[in-house]
């Protein structure tokens, strides 16, 4: 599908979807338990993949709206009757790889073309080092994967600068091994707040895990048991970033956009609040009420390090294209290994809209002072975050912007375009 966006002004009250990161972890944690209810879950293409994996390992998932009732496999995943298809969800594949490593027999994991190009090698090596079996069918560190043979735990080394999801996967699985798992990082950890999210979810499910001088540690022999048998998912700051950006660049004069569901949590992407403020927009965060209010103002370019917040790069790039001066996005090489190479994708697609951009391996500079965005036909690259960020650019570009692949917002923000229309955006899909 294509989305067609024209210059618009937005105003009003809306609610961001629940967190994708928390939902993935909560659904799998419920799978590791003997049963739990996950409330306020994000139901999207990615999180459905994690639900299917839990069912493949012998659990059951019953969903009514945003309430997901899981009967778990109690720390002992069964051998799936079929291949587990992770679709486009890298989080699912990585978290499930370590879970599959616990199985007595073998599990085959695969996904779509994009997912089959994303690196899994370090996690496969870690599972093997922990006495499991983990192989790439093509022997190149990429899916399809074959994993199993009863990973027992122990101490393992793993790089921290490829994907924090490797650490999350090992911590979640390590809690139910006999020995537990000590993860020693061989390189600096990128995207550290995502591991903080994991530690928070584990604690809420009754699992002890901690940071150490070398990395992270989780004792074995534990059981997943959330208090009262339930867990509630907080709102998603990655998704809020598009709503904040829309209010900052396309808000109606004298009016504001109010975003509900913005309660504090371990999400690193809550940094978007300060980023938008630092660029000059008026943002008020009532943390107790969980509400963000953003009003438009002239923006100025800033320098942002996205080492811990890779998912914010597309949003920041768009803000930079609209701001005065240069916006420099640093420490972003790891953002090239997402659903697509998001650094190149934003550089190339914004350039189609007349943005002046300088792309380097670990840095993206948007020259806002030399940019007047114009509508264009742009490619969402089958990536939900590219689609949504380009749609925000379309709100201020001169003329109509057509974003190809609009259906991919279903990965994290299924009703994104409906939400934008409700705020007053001129958007149609065909």
For the packed helices 45-56 and 90-101, what is the interaxial angle rounded to 10 degrees? 10
Active site residues: 311
Q: How far apart are CA 88 and CA 80, in angstroms?
A: 19
Q: CA nearest 395: which of 418, 420, 358, 415?
A: 420
Question: Is 190 labelled as part of a ligand binding site?
Answer: no
Torsion of CA 182, 201, 122, 140, to 10 degrees: 150
Beta-carbon-side half-sphere exposure of residue 423 (alpha carbons within 13 Å): 34
**Which stretches does DSSP call E strand in 319-362?**
326-330, 357-360
Question: Is 48 labelled as part of a ligand binding site?
Answer: no
Question: Is 120 labelled as part of a ligand binding site?
Answer: no
Question: Is 114 labelled as part of a ligand binding site?
Answer: no
Question: Is 385 labelled as part of a ligand binding site?
Answer: yes
Question: Is 164 labelled as part of a ligand binding site?
Answer: yes
Question: Is 191 labelled as part of a ligand binding site?
Answer: yes
Question: Is 325 labelled as part of a ligand binding site?
Answer: no
Buried-exposed string 353-383: b where 16+ CB fall within 10 A, e elsewhere: bbbbbeeeeeebbbbbeebebebbebbbbbb
Cis peptide before 405 (omega within 30 of 0): no
Question: Is 277 labelled as part of a ligand binding site?
Answer: no
Question: Is 60 labelled as part of a ligand binding site?
Answer: no
Place of tokens 């912007």: 401
Question: Is 133 labelled as part of a ligand binding site?
Answer: no
Q: How far apart are CA 28 and CA 146, in angstroms?
A: 19
Q: CA nearest 161: which of 190, 184, 185?
A: 190
Instruction: DSSP letter for 19, please.
Output: P
Q: How far apart are CA 317 and CA 357, in angstroms?
A: 9
Annotated binding site: 20-21, 25, 90, 118, 163-165, 191, 311, 338, 342, 385
């Amino acid at each position: 599908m294509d989305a067609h966006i024209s210059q618009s002004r937005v105003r009003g009250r809306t609610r961001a979807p629940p967190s994708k990161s928390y939902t993935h972890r909560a659904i799998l944690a419920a799978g590791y338990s003997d049963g739990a209810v996950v409330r306020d879950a994000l139901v999207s293409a990615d999180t459905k993949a994690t639900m299917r994996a839990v069912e493949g390992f012998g659990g059951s998932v019953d969903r009514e709206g945003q309430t997901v009732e899981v009967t778990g496999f109690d720390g002992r995943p069964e051998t799936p009757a079929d291949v587990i298809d992770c679709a486009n969800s890298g989080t699912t594949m990585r978290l499930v790889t370590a879970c599959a490593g616990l199985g007595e027999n073998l599990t085959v994991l695969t996904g779509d073309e994009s997912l089959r190009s994303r690196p899994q090698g370090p996690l496969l090596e870690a599972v093997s080092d922990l006495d499991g079996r983990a192989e790439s069918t093509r022997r190149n560190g990429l899916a399809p994967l074959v994993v199993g043979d009863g990973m027992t735990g122990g101490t393992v080394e793993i790089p921290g600068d490829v994907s924090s999801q490797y650490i999350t996967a090992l911590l979640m699985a390590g809690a139910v091994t006999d020995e537990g798992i000590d993860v020693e990082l061989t390189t600096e950890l990128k995207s550290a707040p995502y591991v903080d999210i994991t530690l928070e979810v584990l604690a809420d499910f009754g699992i002890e895990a901690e940071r150490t001088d070398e990395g992270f540690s989780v004792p074995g022999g534990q059981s997943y048991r959330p208090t009262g048998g339930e867990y509630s998912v907080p709102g998603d700051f990655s998704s809020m970033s598009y709503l904040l950006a829309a209010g900052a660049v396309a808000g109606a004069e004298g009016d504001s956009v109010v975003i509900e569901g913005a309660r504090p949590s371990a999400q690193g992407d809550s940094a978007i609040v300060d980023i938008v403020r630092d660029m000059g927009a008026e943002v008020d965060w009532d943390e107790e009420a969980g509400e963000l209010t953003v009003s438009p103002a002239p923006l100025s370019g800033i320098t942002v390090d996205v080492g811990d917040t890779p998912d914010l790069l597309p949003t920041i790039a768009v803000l930079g294209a609209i701001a005065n001066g240069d916006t420099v996005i640093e420490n972003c090489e790891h953002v090239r290994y997402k659903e697509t190479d998001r650094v190149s994708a934003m550089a190339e697609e914004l350039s189609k809209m007349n943005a002046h951009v300088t792309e380097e391996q670990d840095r993206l500079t948007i020259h806002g002072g030399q940019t007047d965005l114009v509508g264009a036909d742009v490619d969402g690259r089958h990536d939900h975050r590219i689609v949504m960020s380009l749609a925000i650019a379309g709100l201020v570009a001169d003329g109509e912007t057509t974003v190809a692949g609009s259906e991919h917002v279903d990965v994290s923000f299924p009703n994104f375009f409906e939400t934008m229309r409700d705020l007053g955006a001129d958007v149609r899909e065909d």
